[in-house]
Amino acid sequence: MSAALTQSAGPVFRPGLAALRLSGSAMLWLGVFLLGFVFMEPAPYELFMAVQMPLWFLLGLRISRRTAPLAALLLLFNIGGLMSLTVMDDLDVGPFYIMVSTFLGLTAIFYAAMIEARPERLRLIFKAWTMAAVATAILGILGYFHAFPGAAVFTRYDRAMGAFQDPNVFGPFLIAPALYLMHGLLTGRLIEAPWRILGLLIIAFGVFLSFSRAAWALFVFATVMMVLLLLIQKRSSAFRLKILTLSLIAAVMIVISLVIALQVPKVSALFAQRSHLEQSYDSGHLGRFERHTLGFMMSMERPLGIGPMVFSKIFPEDEHNIWLKSLTTYGWLGFVCYLSLMLWTLAFGFRCLLHDRPWQPYLMIAWIVLLGHAAIGDVIDIDHWRHMYLLFGILWGCRALEHNWTRHARENALAGFHG
């Protein structure tokens, strides 16, 4: 009798457990939100994550076999960095640089484990990322137009950078949230469209005012890729018409906003300068591309690399190329690990790109943005971009979810067959 009453009573509400889950969600949201405010090192993001990650693992978060390859590759990548320290005459900031790299690698593993444990956290992560993008974009816009005393702190070289240290990081950081808003605009309810359009316009304007050619190219590439994938995925003619119509409306609104912005002489002058595909510091003597050639030739003779931040002491500037950066800072071991990680992540993401899964939109957005980052990595160092490790974590978390989904489907099919 009592057993029957217990069964019929349904799930038991546990206030303590509910409060713990709510606190955990708030911590995860805040951690991702702080990604938009990296104005110093260590940033508030690092300090908060240094507390949050051990706490989660103490409470039972585990690294599964599905995410173990991510952990192994990132560990070996940073071992390569430690080995590069042994060839430095003056360690200087080298140990701190590798310590930051190792910590950021741990964040990727943390995000992957969190997502595998509870797939619904993907939505929380993207909402926090979008809020951070809108907030930091607003700061960048206000700073660019000197909207209040001291607002120039959010700019650099007359370029918006929000709460970042570099416009070239600020711009690419905004791309994934822009895609998230676009996806919601194209596939979500029309009643929510005004808020998404407003957020998208703010982010797009922030990307524009960053005057980062890589961010501009990434924004266009990512937008076109997502629209094409949605057209391939959705077979309904009515839905395809909706996507094309809304895409056209969004594109027109963005173009109109940019045309209005270009009426400001300061904006139009800098746009004319930055819109050239090649700048003087790219092709001049010891410019970006010549440094790349010389750096790769030098790296062929240095299997352990030359150490963090040493390249700029030999040449006028840093590597500005993630593949060369991997060779010089993490040695041949680090290069092989980073290249393997990037190719492996893009490969399994491509295989799962159009699967009908609850997490498919998040995987698609992260995959497109990671592919774009791999491309702009040819001209920018991205090994310390915090959001890059979030992208790796999202995709490897989705890989684990896909593996579990396939395994459960196979087990259910076998059970049905035997039944």
Instruction: Note the pLDDT tens digit of each residue in 222-257.
Output: 999 999 999 888 777 877 888 888 778 877 877 887
Give per-residue pLDDT as tens, 157-214: 889 999 999 999 999 999 999 999 999 988 888 888 889 989 999 999 999 999 998 9
3-class SS of residue 155: strand
Are 181 and 200 contacting, i.e. CB atoms less than 8 angstroms apart? yes
Q: What is the pLDDT of residue 83?
A: 96
* Averaged confidence pLDDT in the chain: 88
- Quick one: angle between helices 322-351 and 288-299, nearest 10? 90
Give the span between the Cα atoms of 175 and 132, in whole angstroms: 12
In terms of Cα–Cα distance, which of 166, 131, 136 is closest to 41? 166
Asked if the model's pLDDT at residue 416 lies above 90, the reply is: no
Burial of 414 (0-12, 13-18, 19+ CB in 10 A): exposed
Q: What is the pLDDT of residue 1?
A: 39
Domain spans, the chain: 24-35+43-60, 83-117+286-414, 131-272
CA of residue 45 relative to chain centroid, distance: 14
Asked if the model's pLDDT at residue 8 lies above 50, the reply is: no
Highest mean pLDDT among 244-253, 260-269, 295-304: 295-304
Q: What is the pLDDT of residue 155?
A: 94
Are 39 and 165 contacting, i.e. CB atoms less than 8 angstroms apart? yes
Give the span between the Cα atoms of 148 and 152, in whole angstroms: 9
Q: Give the predicted TM-score (pTM) of the model.
A: 0.90
Q: What is the pLDDT of residue 339?
A: 97
More confident residue, 297 or 414: 297
Are 141 and 206 contacting, i.e. CB atoms less than 8 angstroms apart? yes
Q: What is the pLDDT of residue 273?
A: 67
